[in-house]
Structure 1
Amino acid sequence: MRTGMVALALGLLALRFLPALPPVWLCTLLPVIGLMLLPFRTYPVAFFLFGLSWACLQAQWALDDRLPSRLDGETRWVEGRVVGLPQHTEAVVRFELADARSRHGTVPPLMRLAWYGGPPVKSGERWRVAVKLKRPAGLLNPHAFDYDAWLLAQRIGATGTVKDGELLSEARWAWRDGIRQRLQAVDAQGRTGVLTALVLGDGSGLSRQDWQVLQDTGTVHLLVISGQHIGLLAGVVYLLIAGLARYGLWPNRLSWLPWACGLAFAAALGYGLLAGFEVPVRRACLMIGLVLLWRLRFRHLGAWWPLLLALNGVLLLDPLASLQPGFWLSFAAVAVLIFTFSGRLGPWRWWQTWTRAQWLIAIGLGPLLLVLGLPISLSGPLVNLLAVPWISLLVLPPALLGTLLLPVPYVGEGLLWLAGGLIDGLFRGLAWVAGLVPAWVPAAIPLWGWGLGALGAFLLLLPRGVPLRPLGWPLLLLLIFPPRSEIPEGVADIWQLDVGQGLAILVRTRHHTLLYDTGPRFGDNDLGERVVLPTLRKLGVDGIDLMLISHAHADHAGGARAVAQGLPVKHVLGGEPAELPNEWQAAGCESGRRWTWDGVNFELWQWAHARESNPKSCVLQIEASGERMLLTGDIDMAAERALLESPLAIPTDWLQSPHHGSRSSSSMALLDRLRPKAVLISRGQGNSFGHPHPTVLARYQKYGMAIYDSADQGAIHLQLGRFEAPRSMRLERRFWRDPPPLAK
């Protein structure tokens, strides 16, 4: 039976690695084939087919609920009910609308919406809103968080921006939102957001600095409700009733064991519902329920069996859970603990158990964090030695009890005030550690190197005395010091990153790195911090020789400060150096300036008579082994006419589309002189500027240029000097991504 359950789990997990879903007819045929195989004692194969079929059908149904392409960018009046906990900031309200319907056609039943400058929105309310609809899609960069997969896992069929709306009915059964409002009104010594995250699993009240501190110290799992919190509460309830029965304080007419098991599971389930019942909570509730059931029947239960049943239970309820990083981390952490502490000879003292658990979890999860593209906390094993009991034993009990007793004057608020003070003290210590030892963002490594490193981690988890165990350390070092492929002499490795409505282009030669623009920043949405800096680190960039800011507009220069704070930058050039921070000592764009790095030639140009920001853009020409690229920033037609009188007005293979394809740029005269073979467009999907303009696209097509658009293809990678076609991120097929259109 256990073999069949393992096969079922493998079938359910196989969904995560499919580049495309099989046709529906094949998905429905697989269970029939499985049933036919059962009499031949091939039940593992049958169970695998059952799991694969169920997962693929669920994924196909979720894909079918996505917004049709013909409605992408359309504005429709939609009616629905607000679910979950809306996120409110000064500028925008974000919420999910369920049971959505429109009078003018079918729309996805679940949408994630943003209402800029909108009124307060509460969970449970019914709204009728005018929404500019978008197909679910996110930025797509190398080794970055896959927002498309996350949206599909949440079964969100459309995103959109609310233009107008009207409230149809007040909130009903919105008890989680009500509790959140009560918590936010409590004096928790400045830590109300953290307290809300701990009690309700709602992290919207945490600041960006809070998240960074938690990430740097490896303590995110303490504030994002996990199985640890659920198991602790269930254990307290069970031990409380067992203690009452032991000392004769439990009623004799009631058998204490069924009550202890039942109330412990009820407490775990109640806390899980309070926290939103996410994947770690579902896994914990299932495991706790199984353990309590076996305990009730006085049967011994191995540790692996509940984990396997919980894994299958979570995936059968929601096969798309495997698309979320939290799913893998949740089950992997439990598996590492079971593997570490089961079957070992000799007891460990409590302090040995506690310290070894932290270090072995860090080793066991290291390869998984690396393959998921997540940062690795170097201080996490030490910090968690104190932070875990601090939260579990000192903060969580008064927080939950205070929430329960909020209707009682002074008592509930006092307990929450105490919990807030304890959290504040912990955060001060975490911030100090994070300042000393920030999280490590390792560079991506080849698959063979990762496999050897993962083998090393496995060897180190084995008991002492096992042969070959010492080999784990040198193998694990491959994850820390991965082999890197060298860029050939005379070749420029170029990435146009997907930063939405902005620009960021990374240029690397064999020994040098140049960053042309740094992505946008609008309000608190800093793409330099969220996208550009992490991507540079994943690509192995540990310093920038030259950061060239074409001009000072926020969509080109907005992320510069975050990049400069995260990586050492030797020199800064700008089309508008006076608009950049004084401490950077940015130099101006000097027309005619040339230099050579590793056989790759660079030359600058700027229109001397420009008066506005866009035409002041610093233009960069790159030439590698006879292949040329021209980076133009946001120059307009007037600047283009001036450019035609410069030495850069020569045949060019690659053109970065001026001003994101605006109709005020890309003049016929420029294209006729440069005769580019291909154009790179960096812009946001469905942007309000209408970039690229149809007239400009028609010009490109008239000249037979291949068009590579970041909104359609994500980040784009090419090697200048090889005269080869580029690769886009959407060519890495995943069933949840729309395939890229052919280069136009």
Structure 2
Amino acid sequence: MFALALGLLALRWLPALPSGAGLLAMLILALMLLPFRTYPVAFFLVGLSWACISAQWALDDRLQPALDGQTRWVQGRVIGLPQHTGTGVRFELADSRSRTARLPQRIRVSWHGGPTVNSGEYWRLALTLKRPAGLLNFHGFDHEAWLLAQRIGASATVKDGERLAPARHAWRDGVRQRLMAVQAHGREAGLAALVLGDGSGLAPEDWQALQNTGTVHLLVISGQHIGLLAGLIYGLVAMLARYGGWPRGWPWLPWACGLAFAAALGYGLLAGFGVPVQRACVMVGLVLLWRMRFRHLGVWWPLLLALNGVLLIEPLASLQPGFWLSFAAVAVLVLAFSGRLGPWNVWQIWTRPQWLIAIGLFPVLLVLGLPISLSAPVANLFAVPWISLVVLPLALVGTALLWVPLIGEGLLWLAGGALDGLFKGLALLAAQLPAWVPAEVPLMYWLVSLAGAVIVLLPKGLPFRVLGWPMLLVAVFPPRDGVPNGQVEVLQLDVGQGQALILRTRHHTLLYDAGPRSGPVDLGARVVLPSLKKLGVGQLDMMLLSHADADHAGGAAAVALGLPVKRVVGGETEGLPAFLATQPCSSGEQWEWDGVAFELWQWSDAIEGNPKSCVLQVQANGERLLLTGDIDRAAEQAFLTSPLAVPTDWLQAPHHGSRSSSSWPFLQRLAPTAVLISRGRGNAFGHPHSQVLERYQALGSRVYDSAEQGAVRLRLGAFTPPTVARSQRRFWREPLP
């Protein structure tokens, strides 16, 4: 069983899937090994083969490259719970069909300004189709992996549509609509998350409070509540049987186990039957089965069987961080509780699990690149019993009794009030102690930290157990790969249709542009700030905003609120938040950091907008980088009269490669060896323009495009080739063009 699990999990690290012949050879080898009783190797190969076959099916179901960007009429059924926002609706379309092309079975659809869409409805939609893609950074969330794990073969935006048939068998959506219609102290979305596992209605500040306090699992990941509900049903039947309240003709134990498992499955279906819920249902079923047979279950068998059960049903579950956190948390508790000698008192039973989980999940969160909540043990100490014993029972019973006038709504009103009080307390705690985003840790240091966590979790009295603490904390202060004097590390982040570059010398850091912001989507907070923290940046010496457009300066406020910034300079000071205290770009200003020269330039005749972009030249050991913002042809012509108009090794393409920039005289004078383009895939502006790309090609310039290659990292002053994020091979990523 352990070998089977290793084979299923090995899929997560494959750079490419084996060919059909390779899969067939693995299966034949596994069958040949069985007669020789080499079961571990055989079952490992079986698990790996099944995982690869399932993953290949998902890859084959992706949108064909020839259809990328095309608009087609598509018919399909809405599944899941549609997410209605202030600007439109997002939902998933299943059983997609088109008369002219083969389409993926599941498409993720966004309808800006669209009507109300309900689960189970059948629609005919004019969709502009796109292949699965997402921002790709060295330390960021892998959206492509998430889409594949959800078996979503395409994304799309709606041009037009009509409803062909009303909703059928959409009871989960009906329950959500009833929950959202009750009066629950403004916490109706929280109740929907708790009961249905649907967190789409939670406000961003609620998500931030949950993340900072390590309590996200209490509202969205409902695995522990499955076990709680099953235990309550089992205990209720056992109590009735003990005190004579259970019918004597009915054997209480089979009924208790059957009703408990039915309750677990019912709540699992209500919550969407995600990975944590699958794991909980499998484990509950095994415990009840062994209980009926009066057999000792042991401590690791249920977890191992649940792991294999989830991965056999959906091998791609290992691509999701929630899978690892869910099983790791249970494994930590199993390891801690199985090794104890003698009973724990009530205080220990209440407090110790939270600290043990915090210790055990530390290296897991670290390797997944997720924020680590320092207040999680304290927050969960109160939040877990409050949710489990107060909010959840009221919410479930209230939901079940919604058909009874006043009673169901009254219970939900009480549940909402209890949940509102919890959120207010979590917000206060989060404000005092926000989540910590650790810097990137080398593999060897992470392995030492993992070993330290395991040693700390072992029972007391074992020799050298105290050494686990310094081993665990090794990952908190890992060594930093310093930048040598006279060089600068340049990182162009993938922020879609926007721009953000991080420049680090040995002791200083500069941020050139801060990424875009559009409505609630702030890539300064989602991408730029976490990337700075992953690099170990404690403060910015300068944030240089080329101009005030939202695609360049939209994320500046989030960055300034998350990190100390010594100085903010902007090509435009109007339109930027007042608290940034932005200083105007001073053309001709020069300074030196750690042997690296910096100089600013701005067109003096520019009035506002793109032509007023603040240009930065960086020179390290004779290698030059020019960052141009969104200057246009007129500004480029003026730039040619400046002393900075010299041959340049690295050029940031003006205005994302727009036709209005990158004029031929400008490029001839600079003669860039390589060009950096930051833009969104399939953007509405047509960046970069084909004529601009032809000019770069005529000059022999190498083009590094964030939409195609993801983030780009280079070491200016070392004259070495750059590294692109897409070069990190994963089987779900399209290869480099």
Same fold (TM over 0.5): yes
AA aligned to 1:490 is G
User: 1:197-276, aligned counterparts within 5 Å?
Assistant: 197-276=193-272
Report the alpha carbon displacement of residue 485 of structure 1 after superposing the two structures with TM.
Answer: 1.1
Report the alpha carbon displacement of residue 537 of structure 1 after superposing the two structures with TM.
Answer: 0.7
Instruction: Look up the match of 2:364.
Output: 368
Instruction: Look up the match of 1:644.
Output: 640
Q: Following the alignment from structure 1 to structure 2, what is the Cα–Cα distance between the partners of residues 581 and 49?
A: 58
Report the alpha carbon displacement of residue 619 of structure 1 after superposing the two structures with TM.
Answer: 0.3
What is the CA deviation profile of residues 293-325 of structure 1, one whole-angstrom value per residue up to 9, with x for unaligned ones?
Answer: 111111111121011111000000000000000
Q: Secondary structure at the match of 2:537?
A: coil
Instruction: Look up the match of 2:22.
Output: 26
Q: Following the alignment from structure 1 to structure 2, what is the Cα–Cα distance between the partners of residues 157 and 105?
A: 14
User: 1:58-97, aligned counterparts within 5 Å?
Assistant: 58-97=54-93
Q: Secondary structure at the match of 2:124?
A: strand
Of 572, 576, 579, which aligns to 1:576? 572
Query: Does 1:298 find its partner at 2:294?
Result: yes
Q: Following the alignment from structure 2 to structure 1, what is the Cα–Cα distance between the partners of residues 418 and 331?
A: 31
What is the CA deviation profile of residues 680-707 of structure 1, one whole-angstrom value per residue up to 9, with x for unaligned ones?
Answer: 0000010000000001011110111100
Of 539, 554, 562, which aligns to 2:535? 539
Q: Following the alignment from structure 1 to structure 2, what is the Cα–Cα distance between the partners of residues 666 and 96?
A: 40
Q: Following the alignment from structure 1 to structure 2, what is the Cα–Cα distance between the partners of residues 529 and 488?
A: 29
Instruction: Look up the match of 2:668.
Output: 672
Instruction: Look up the match of 2:307.
Output: 311
Of 342, 361, 384, which aligns to 2:380? 384
Query: Does 1:344 find its partner at 2:340?
Result: yes
RMSD of the alignment, in Å?
0.8
Instruction: Look up the match of 1:739.
Output: 735
Instruction: Look up the match of 1:175.
Output: 171
Q: Following the alignment from structure 1 to structure 2, what is the Cα–Cα distance between the partners of residues 166 and 612?
A: 44
Moved more, 135-144 or 45-54: 135-144
Q: Secondary structure at the match of 1:544?
A: coil
Of 509, 515, 520, which aligns to 1:513? 509
Instruction: Look up the match of 1:713.
Output: 709
Q: Following the alignment from structure 1 to structure 2, what is the Cα–Cα distance between the partners of residues 300 and 464?
A: 25
Query: Does 1:440 find its partner at 2:417?
Result: no
Instruction: Look up the match of 1:502.
Output: 498
Of 570, 577, 581, which aligns to 1:585? 581
Q: Following the alignment from structure 2 to structure 1, what is the Cα–Cα distance between the partners of residues 76 and 441?
A: 45
TM-score by length of 2: 0.99
Instruction: Look up the match of 1:153.
Output: 149
User: 1:343-742, aligned counterparts within 5 Å?
Assistant: 343-741=339-737
Report the alpha carbon displacement of residue 346 of structure 1 after superposing the two structures with TM.
Answer: 2.0
Q: Following the alignment from structure 2 to structure 1, what is the Cα–Cα distance between the partners of residues 445 and 293?
A: 47
Q: Secondary structure at the match of 1:506?
A: strand
Q: Following the alignment from structure 2 to structure 1, what is the Cα–Cα distance between the partners of residues 18 and 611?
A: 51
Instruction: Look up the match of 2:138.
Output: 142
What is the CA deviation profile of residues 666-689 of structure 1, one whole-angstrom value per residue up to 9, with x for unaligned ones?
Answer: 000011000000000000010000
Instruction: Look up the match of 1:193.
Output: 189
Q: Secondary structure at the match of 2:541?
A: strand
Q: Secondary structure at the match of 1:118?
A: coil
Report the alpha carbon displacement of residue 349 of structure 1 after superposing the two structures with TM.
Answer: 1.0
AA aligned to 1:46 is A
CA contact (8 A) 2:197 2:222 kept: no
CA contact (8 A) 2:88 2:115 kept: no
Query: Does 1:124 find its partner at 2:120?
Result: yes
Report the alpha carbon displacement of residue 585 of structure 1 after superposing the two structures with TM.
Answer: 2.0
AA aligned to 1:35 is L
Report the alpha carbon displacement of residue 29 of structure 1 after superposing the two structures with TM.
Answer: 2.5
AA aligned to 2:279 is R
Moved more, 219-228 or 429-438: 219-228
Report the alpha carbon displacement of residue 462 of structure 1 after superposing the two structures with TM.
Answer: 1.0
Report the alpha carbon displacement of residue 544 of structure 1 after superposing the two structures with TM.
Answer: 0.4
Q: Following the alignment from structure 1 to structure 2, what is the Cα–Cα distance between the partners of residues 343 and 438?
A: 33
Q: Following the alignment from structure 1 to structure 2, what is the Cα–Cα distance between the partners of residues 160 and 120?
A: 17
Query: Does 1:11 find its partner at 2:7?
Result: yes
Instruction: Look up the match of 2:101.
Output: 105
Q: Following the alignment from structure 1 to structure 2, what is the Cα–Cα distance between the partners of residues 675 and 468?
A: 63
Aligned length: 737
Q: Following the alignment from structure 2 to structure 1, what is the Cα–Cα distance between the partners of residues 21 and 92?
A: 33
Q: Following the alignment from structure 1 to structure 2, what is the Cα–Cα distance between the partners of residues 422 and 489?
A: 57
After the TM superposition, which parts of structure 1 deviate over 6 Å for at least 4 consecutive aligned residues? none
Q: Following the alignment from structure 1 to structure 2, what is the Cα–Cα distance between the partners of residues 645 and 492?
A: 27
Report the alpha carbon displacement of residue 343 of structure 1 after superposing the two structures with TM.
Answer: 3.0
CA contact (8 A) 2:222 2:271 kept: no
AA aligned to 2:372 is I
Instruction: Look up the match of 1:45.
Output: 41
Q: Secondary structure at the match of 1:168?
A: strand
Moved more, 230-239 or 64-73: 64-73
Of 155, 158, 162, which aligns to 1:162? 158
Report the alpha carbon displacement of residue 584 of structure 1 after superposing the two structures with TM.
Answer: 2.2
Q: Following the alignment from structure 1 to structure 2, what is the Cα–Cα distance between the partners of residues 173 and 348?
A: 48
Q: Could you tell me the percent identity over the aligned residues?
A: 70
CA contact (8 A) 2:572 2:608 kept: no
Q: Following the alignment from structure 1 to structure 2, what is the Cα–Cα distance between the partners of residues 541 and 43?
A: 49
Of 46, 50, 53, which aligns to 1:54? 50
AA aligned to 1:651 is P
Q: Following the alignment from structure 1 to structure 2, what is the Cα–Cα distance between the partners of residues 581 and 345?
A: 59
CA contact (8 A) 2:62 2:131 kept: yes
Moved more, 69-78 or 195-204: 69-78
Q: Secondary structure at the match of 1:579?
A: coil
What is the CA deviation profile of residues 370-392 of structure 1, one whole-angstrom value per residue up to 9, with x for unaligned ones?
Answer: 10010011010011111100000
Q: Following the alignment from structure 1 to structure 2, what is the Cα–Cα distance between the partners of residues 196 and 446?
A: 40
Q: Following the alignment from structure 1 to structure 2, what is the Cα–Cα distance between the partners of residues 268 and 584?
A: 52
Q: Following the alignment from structure 1 to structure 2, what is the Cα–Cα distance between the partners of residues 593 and 648?
A: 12
Report the alpha carbon displacement of residue 326 of structure 1 after superposing the two structures with TM.
Answer: 0.4
Q: Following the alignment from structure 1 to structure 2, what is the Cα–Cα distance between the partners of residues 659 and 164?
A: 32
Q: Following the alignment from structure 1 to structure 2, what is the Cα–Cα distance between the partners of residues 583 and 60?
A: 51
Instruction: Look up the match of 1:282.
Output: 278
Moved more, 324-333 or 21-30: 21-30
Query: Does 1:323 find its partner at 2:319?
Result: yes
AA aligned to 1:650 is V
Report the alpha carbon displacement of residue 581 of structure 1 after superposing the two structures with TM.
Answer: 2.4
CA contact (8 A) 2:497 2:516 kept: yes
AA aligned to 2:467 is L
AA aligned to 1:84 is G
AA aligned to 1:322 is S
AA aligned to 1:37 is L
TM-score by length of 1: 0.98
Q: Secondary structure at the match of 2:151?
A: coil
Q: Secondary structure at the match of 2:235?
A: helix
Listed as ranges, the gaps of 5+ residues in structure 1 are none
Listed as ranges, the gaps of 5+ residues in structure 2 are none
Report the alpha carbon displacement of residue 92 of structure 1 after superposing the two structures with TM.
Answer: 2.0
Q: Following the alignment from structure 2 to structure 1, what is the Cα–Cα distance between the partners of residues 578 and 329?
A: 47
